[in-house]
């Protein structure tokens, strides 16, 4: 079957399930690039490093400017993710992260608190998928005050067929027809905003700007200072970036296109093999994309009109299997785009450096343990703040990868991590009540299921059994004359080189 027939079959399949015309045309554009053999790579020879980035904490934004911009700002959260990497089959935003509070609870709390404090409307709009919409909207019923007149609570992300790798026809998978579909990546944001009518609704309701971020990143809370900075730049698009560490070598990062000086987002999948060393050089390419974006909605609407509702975002080709849990299933190609890639379409695009307090994504149970632990506190405005430098956590994926496995091994909640530099667990360990990790805490694989006892401490040499209360009198002073009490050794933000990374820009929004 010819490639053109493959495209016709794909378009028919999308039409049959009601995919909007703009989304079909966006898919068609990418399909043609596949036919031409495009891999979507961005050569190191064609770019130069991003430098001279303003720092958020050094911005001079007058209060009245911040207030005016914030009053014209909407919050958009990408909420299509199912948390499949943790074995979750519902919206990740409904996962409890602090006590009974879910991501969605804390996001709603952040928005409502910001409204009350600053006297603004600040609508919250979710980009859901077909698989997250029903549960999410039901959960939002607990917050009737979130509704803003004239602004929908959500809009739907689109979907597209997975393509057979051998002939680019839509794959068929009778065992689970849902697996025949995939999300188009979060670059679908722009098509979905137009096709749903939400872009027009926001502008009609008087909103000029939008803050966009992932629902699993509680660090990206509504920020009037950032809104004021963005409005003051006059830019149509801005990205929040952060300093890369060795753990971020494989993540999406921003570069400058040598031919025209425009900012460009280069994802891991867009790096050719011969450029991997240069792209991973964090001293050369210093900033990664946090996926926290700022949009001028008027400028975006004009750009979309110019391109008939389909922005020419760069292709990201993802080669996978139709069943991601079965490596022997049919090889497929997924065509995707990244929402951050729109930065290259604006000649005045801006960037701002933020610290990692605005980048707290939860992609794995390692991240979840940190967020649930005493390293973080949730304040009255539902914002999340670290009390100590974040320790490095690496739980054995053979026993802690899925949420079910993770919760079974922390039945009493997470251990204390405020005195930890790191926590590395190998093997099948279950943690008791009031466990503490101290320093470079490590548990070796005992070869069989094992228990960390209640009140125990985990250190560099494993478990230290809890001492009886009578053995350590409260008044005993361990400090020698002139000796300073030991302090918590703050963990560097640079995890060891061989640890994996999970950048938000590398994980497509789940359909």
Q: Binding site for substrate, residues?
A: 186
CB 134 within 8 A of CB 160: no
- Neighbouring residues of 109: CB distance < 8 A, sequence distance ≥ 6: 101, 381, 382
Which has the closest alpha carbon to 102: 218, 222, 186, 211?
A: 218
Pairing of strands 253-257, 47-49: antiparallel
Q: Between the CA of residue 505 and those of 6, 278, 342, what are the distances in Å?
A: 29, 19, 13
3 state SS for 14-29 = HHHCCCCHHHHHHHHH
Q: What is the DSSP string of 183-221?
A: ---GGGHHHHHHHHTHHHHHHHTT--EEEEEETT-TT--
Distances (CA, A) of 265 to 157, 268, 483: 21, 10, 51
Task: Count CB atoms within 10 A of the CB of residue 27.
Answer: 25
- Sequence ranges of the binding site: 92, 157, 185-186, 216, 363
Angle, helices 189-196/21-35, rounded to nearest 10 degrees: 150
Torsional sign, CA 147, 150, 151, 152 = positive
Interior angle at CA 190, CA 185 and CA 196, nearest 5: 105
Of the candidates 251, 241, 242, which has an alpha carbon nearest to the alpha carbon of residue 276?
251
CA pair distance 116, 292, nearest whole angstrom: 23
Backbone angles phi, psi at 329, to 5 degrees: -75, 170
430: part of which helix (H) or strand (E)? strand 429-431
CA distance 443 to 423: 8
Residue 462: which H helix or E strand, with range?
strand 462-464
Instruction: Scan for tokens 């005045």, then name that residue.
Output: 348
Closest CA to 287 of 315, 257, 266: 266
CB 350 within 8 A of CB 292: no
Which residues are documented as binding site for UTP? Answer: 92, 157, 185, 216, 363
Query: Exposed e or buried b for every residue in 161-170, given b needs 16+ CB within 10 A?
Result: bbbbeeebbb
């Amino acid at each position: 079957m010819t490639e053109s027939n493959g495209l016709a079959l794909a378009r028919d399949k999308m039409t049959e399930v009601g995919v909007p015309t703009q989304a079909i045309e966006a898919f068609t554009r990418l399909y043609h690039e596949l036919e031409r053999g495009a891999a979507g790579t961005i050569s190191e020879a064609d770019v130069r490093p991003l430098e001279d980035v303003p720092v958020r904490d050094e911005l001079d934004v007058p209060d009245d400017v911040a207030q005016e911009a914030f009053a014209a700002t909407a919050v958009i959260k990408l909420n299509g993710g199912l948390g499949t990497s943790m074995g979750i089959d519902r919206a990740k935003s409904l996962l409890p992260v602090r006590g009974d509070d879910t991501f969605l609870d804390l996001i709603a709390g952040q928005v409502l608190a910001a409204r009350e404090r600053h006297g603004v409307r600040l609508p919250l709009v979710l980009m859901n998928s077909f698989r997250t919409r029903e549960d999410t909207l039901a959960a939002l019923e607990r917050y009737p005050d979130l509704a803003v007149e004239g602004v929908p609570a959500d809009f739907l992300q689109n979907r597209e067929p997975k393509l057979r790798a051998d002939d680019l026809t839509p794959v068929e998978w009778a065992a689970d027809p849902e697996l025949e579909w995939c999300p188009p990546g979060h670059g679908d944001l722009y098509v979905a905003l137009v096709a749903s009518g939400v872009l027009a609704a926001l502008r009609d309701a008087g909103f000029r700007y939008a803050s966009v971020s992932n629902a699993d990143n509680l660090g990206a809370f509504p920020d009037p200072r950032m809104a004021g900075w963005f409005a003051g730049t006059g830019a149509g698009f801005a990205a929040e970036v952060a300093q890369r560490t060795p753990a971020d070598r494989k993540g999406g990062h921003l570069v400058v296109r040598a031919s025209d000086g425009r900012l460009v987002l280069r994802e891991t999948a867009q790096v050719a093999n011969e450029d991997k060393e240069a792209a991973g050089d964090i001293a050369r390419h210093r900033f990664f994309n946090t996926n926290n974006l700022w949009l001028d909605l008027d400028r975006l609407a004009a750009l979309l009109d110019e391109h008939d509702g389909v922005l020419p975002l760069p292709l990201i080709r993802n080669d996978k299997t139709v069943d991601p849990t079965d490596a022997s299933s049919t090889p497929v190609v997924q065509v995707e785009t990244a929402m951050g890639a729109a930065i290259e379409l604006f000649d005045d695009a801006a960037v701002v450096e933020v610290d990692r307090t605005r980048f707290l994504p939860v992609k794995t149970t390692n991240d979840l343990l940190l967020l649930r632990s005493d390293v973080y506190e949730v304040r009255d405005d539902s914002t999340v703040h670290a009390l100590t430098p974040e320790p490095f956590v690496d739980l054995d994926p053979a026993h802690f990868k899925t949420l079910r496995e993770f919760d079974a091994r922390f039945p009493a909640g997470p251990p204390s991590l405020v005195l930890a530099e790191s926590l590395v667990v190998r093997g099948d360990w279950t943690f008791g009540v009031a466990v503490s990790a101290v320093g470079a805490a490590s548990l070796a694989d005992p070869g069989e299921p094992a228990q960390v006892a209640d009140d125990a401490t985990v250190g560099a040499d494993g478990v230290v059994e809890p001492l009886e209360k009578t053995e350590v009198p409260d008044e005993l002073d361990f400090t020698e004359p002139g000796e300073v009490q030991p302090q918590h050794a703050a963990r560097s933000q640079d995890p060891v080189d061989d640890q994996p990374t999970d950048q938000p820009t590398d994980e497509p929004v789940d359909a």
